[in-house]
Amino acid sequence: MGYQEIFKQSIEDPQSFWAEKAEDIFWFQKPESVLSQDKKGNYRWFKGGMLNTAYLALDYHIETGYGDQIALIYDSPVTGKKRKYTYMQLRDKVAAFSGALLSLGVRKGDRVVIYMPMIPEAVISMLGCARIGAIHSVVFGGFAPHELAIRIDDAKPKVIVTASNGIEFTRVIAYKPLVDSAIKQAKHKPDHCIVFQRDQLKAELNNERDLDYSDLVAKARPGAYIPVEATDPLYILYTSGTTGKPKGIVRDNGGHAVALKSTMKNIYGINRGDVYWAASDVGWVVGHSYIVYAPLLAGATTILFEGKPVRTPHAGVFWRVLSEYKVKTFFTAPTAFRAMKKEDPFGSLAKNYDLSELKYLFLAGERLDPPTYHWLKDLMKDKPVVDHWWQTESGWPMVANPLGIEKFEVKPGSATKPVYGFDVQVLDDDGKPVKASTEGNIVVKLPLPPGCLPTLWNDEKRFLASYMERFPGYYHTGDGGYIDEEGYVFIMGRTDDVINVAGHRLSTGAMEELIASHPAVAECAVVGINDELRGQVPAGFIVIKDRYKIDEYSLVGELVTMIREEIGSFAYFRQTAVVKRLPKTRSGKILRHIIRKMADGDEFTVPSTIDDVKILDEIKEVLYDKQIGKAFQTEGI
């Protein structure tokens, strides 16, 4: 069957479409229904089905004769270590860790926060939770204690798992003091903190709460997998919304396993035994879905890479890994290639490696900008370079070039076609469908396919308000864009206050909330402006309180430090300026989009509702003076 037929069936008859896909995983008990609605009217997939995601990812392969196949390759240029785990070895490590959790009283439905660098123990901890039905919540290691504390208070974990340190290029970052500080800040106190001691640094275990990972595992009896309901949560992954409070995206077990397994073949062209590499971080959704779960569900070999695209030790390290492990499909963020391109403009380093086994290159996390696409295409020659679009909320691609089904010609700037199950449409602000090639709000007609968020952790109200109420009957993605006459989807960027910095999703609202808490700040606006390497970076515009005495430079310095220490340095909040006033509508709404467009040097129409048009000249002057954005380089400003 070709794409069109498959897509049509998935939309017109989702029940039989997904019933068939569900046959591809092993159920301890088959679902009573494929698609149903709960009492509140929310859609649920595979109700009544019993399964275990860690069993499907590991034990199932062993039982079907693939125990000696390599499941995971750990390659760490920052430590010089490389290690391979067969399915059997990985399962044994996971079972041992499950046993350790059980010995601490962790049971089905309990939460476990994982704050770890890119080491095998992070993957083992995730699967160890899944094996016993505990719900993991991985927090990206770049987040500062304040952000970790917010997540601890929301998820209320029984246990936190961490490591003594992470490594950023050559810099060793002690994790344990960060976790200690987060626990101190949080109202909820976990019973235990399990610490994996790495060679670079030994963390101090200073009270009964702290436990050594290796000791604990050595003492525990292996934990058995338990069947869980398809609708039971597998994990919570916090992602940035428009406020300081992150959204706890819930992923259930059944829909996730069925959907993810289907994508390996249909989208990424991966079969059992193939090598697949997603160069992301386990702290992000790409890491959850495509470093850990999907490749293992498919019986492939996955790579866990602890390094960066550059300077670990050089801009050819990705080509080295691709060649060394004969990777068939590679997936990363465009920003990683932009970083490589900066250091190796002609991609000469790729020529040192045999890339003949590499078949497909996938990019996501942000729009694949046409210059990066062309650079890669020139380098890759006949290998497809595929942009595909998705979100933490969806858990898997909503728009892609489904290479395992049908290969479409690429249109640079487009993520290609809606993936089966996703009825992607474009609506205007009044909820009416727009004509082809007209920009509007990107939405997905309900029901969403399996694997997408059924709700937000502890916040059904926000789930409905954020995603379901703006356009009744549709999931509101928060992205804007258009679909052309040939059905190609172009995602043009967020329509809300979420920005994307080097493939990392961040909330400008969260930054504003922090900045506004500084006693000198009367009001502020943070906007995401274009950046050649990172895609976007935040820029802050601050109004100081009338009679507050503070030197402008000290304030700016304090605010930059504040964001580093409270959110994390990866937020890259470095450009900020004091302004006399912010542009507003007469009703007092800050015109952030105008500031952003001015900084990017884009054209804009001055809204008739603007309070005082002269403010725009003041902002222009500040952009020029502080050299913020591109605008100051443009003639005439």
Q: How far is CA 436 from CA 402, 406, 408, 440, 485, in A?
A: 22, 23, 19, 10, 5
What the block records as the tokens of 421 is 């199950």
Closest contact distance (angstroms) between CB of 239 and ligand AMP is 5
- Per CB under 6 A, contacts with ligand COA among 301-340 are 308-310, 332-333, 335-336, 339
Contacts (CB under 6 A) with ligand AMP, residues 213-272: 239
Among the candidate windows 47-55, 103-111, 245-253, 567-575, which touches ligand COA by CB under 6 A? 567-575
Residue 443 Cβ, how far from ligand AMP at the closest point, in Å? 12
Contacts of ligand COA in 171-210 (CB under 6 A): 173
Identity of the residue, 387 or 497, whose beta carbon is nearer to ligand AMP in the bound complex: 387
Q: Pick from ligand COA, ligand AMP, none: which does 366 bind, CB < 5 to 8 A by kind?
A: ligand AMP
Of 7 and 290, CB closest to ligand AMP: 290
User: What gap in Å lies between CA 367 and CA 442, rounded to an integer?
Assistant: 14
Candidate residues 31, 141, 421, 440; the one interacting with ligand COA per rule CB under 6 A: 141
491 binds, among ligand COA, ligand AMP, none (CB under 5 to 8 A by kind): ligand AMP
Peptide bond before 227: cis, by omega within 30 degrees of 0? no
For the chain, the helix, strand and coil percentages under 3-state DSSP, each to the nearest 5 = 35, 25, 40
Does position 502 bind ligand COA by CB under 6 A? yes
- Could you tell me the smallest distance in angstroms from the CB atom of residue 427 to ligand AMP? 16
- Binder among 114, 161, 286, 355 for ligand COA (CB under 6 A): 286
Q: What x/- string results for residues 398 through 437 when contact with ligand AMP is judged by CB under 6 A?
A: -----------------x----------------------
Site string for ligand COA, 572-601 (x = CB under 6 A): x-----------------------------
**Smallest gap from residue 286 Cβ to ligand COA (A):** 4
Q: In this chain, which of 48, 66, 88, 168 binds ligand COA, going by CB under 6 A?
A: 168
Reference 586, options 548, 612, 614, 555; nearest CA is 612
| Single-letter amino acid, residue 105 | G
Task: Give the Cα separation of 358 and 317 in Å (integer).
Answer: 15
Which residue, 141 or 538, has its beta carbon nearer to ligand COA? 141
- Identify which of 272, 244, 303, 279 has the alpha carbon closest to the alpha carbon of residue 72: 303
CB under 5 to 8 A by kind: which of ligand COA, ligand AMP, none does 500 bind?
A: ligand AMP
Partner that binds at residue 494, options ligand COA, ligand AMP, none, CB closer than 5 to 8 Å by kind: ligand AMP
403 CA to centre of own chain:
22
Question: Is the CB of 170 or the CB of 587 nearer to ligand COA?
Answer: 170
> Residues 543-567, buried b or exposed e (16+ Cβ, 10 A)?
bbeeeeebeeeebbeebbebbbebb
Q: How far is the CB of 407 from ligand AMP (least distance, A)?
A: 18
Integer-rounded Cα radius of gyration of the chain:
24
**Cβ contact 114:122 at 8 Å:** yes
Q: Which partner in ligand COA, ligand AMP, none is near 166 (CB below 5 to 8 A by kind)?
A: ligand COA
Map tokens 């222009």 to a residue.
620
C-alpha distances in Å from residue 405, one per residue of 397, 420, 614: 14, 10, 55
Task: Kindly tell me which of 128 and 145 has the beta carbon lying closer to ligand COA.
Answer: 145
Sign of the alpha-carbon dihedral angle for 619, 622, 628, 631: positive
CB of 362 to ligand COA, least distance (A): 11
Residue 391 binding: pick among ligand COA, ligand AMP, none (C-beta 5-8 Å cut-off by kind): ligand AMP
Q: What is the DSSP string of 121-148?
A: HHHHHHHHHHHTTPEEEE--TTS-HHHH
Residue with tokens 């890994």: 321
Q: How many CA within 13 A on the CB side of residue 134?
A: 33
Q: What is the 3-state secondary structure (H, E, C) of 421-461?
A: CCEEEEECCCCCECCCCCCEEEEEECCCCCCCCCCECCCHH
Closest separation in Å from C-beta 552 to ligand COA: 22
d(C-alpha 148, C-alpha 486), whole Å: 44
- The least distance separating ligand COA from the CB of residue 40, rounded to whole angstroms, comes to 32
Question: Total residues contacting ligand AMP (rule CB under 6 A)?
Answer: 20
Q: Where does 104-232 have alpha helices with state H?
A: 120-131, 145-155, 176-185, 213-219
Q: How far is CA 293 from CA 55, 82, 298, 301, 615, in A?
A: 11, 21, 9, 11, 51
- The 462-481 contact track toward ligand AMP, x by CB under 6 A, reads ----------------xx--
Nearer to ligand COA, 310 or 615 (CB): 310
Q: Residue 154 and residue 136: Cα distance in Å, rounded? A: 13
Q: Which does 417 bind (CB under 5 to 8 A by kind): ligand AMP, ligand COA, none?
A: none
Cα distance from N-terminal residue to C-terminal residue, the chain: 56
Q: Does 246 sit behind a cis peptide bond, omega within 30 degrees of 0 on the bond before it?
A: no
Given the structure tokens 């100051």, which residue do they identify?
632
Beta bridge partners of 37: 43
Residue 141 contact among ligand COA, ligand AMP, none, beta carbon within 5 to 8 Å by kind: ligand COA
387 binds, among ligand AMP, ligand COA, none (CB under 5 to 8 A by kind): ligand AMP
Q: 369-388 mask for ligand AMP (x: CB under 6 A)? A: ------------------xx
Q: Which of residues 262-281 bind ligand COA (CB under 6 A)?
A: 279-280
Taking CB within 5 to 8 Å according to partner kind, which of ligand AMP, ligand COA, none is near residue 389?
A: ligand AMP
420 binds, among ligand COA, ligand AMP, none (CB under 5 to 8 A by kind): none
What residues from 486 to 545 belong to the interface with ligand AMP (CB under 6 A)? 491, 494, 500, 505
DSSP codes of every residue in 520-562: TEEEEEEEEEEETTTEEEEEEEEEE-TT----HHHHHHHHHHH
In the complex, minimum distance from the CB of residue 459 to ligand AMP, in angstroms, rounded to a whole number: 17
Q: Which is nearer to ligand AMP, 22 or 279 (CB)?
A: 279
Which positions from 348 through 367 interact with ligand AMP, judged by CB under 6 A? 364-367
Name the minimum Å distance from CB 335 to ligand COA.
Answer: 5
What residue ranges bind ligand AMP (CB under 6 A)?
A: 239, 284-285, 364-367, 387-392, 415, 478-479, 491, 494, 500, 505
Which residues lie near ligand COA (CB under 6 A)?
141-142, 166, 168, 173, 279-280, 284, 286, 308-310, 332-333, 335-336, 339, 365, 502-503, 569-570, 572
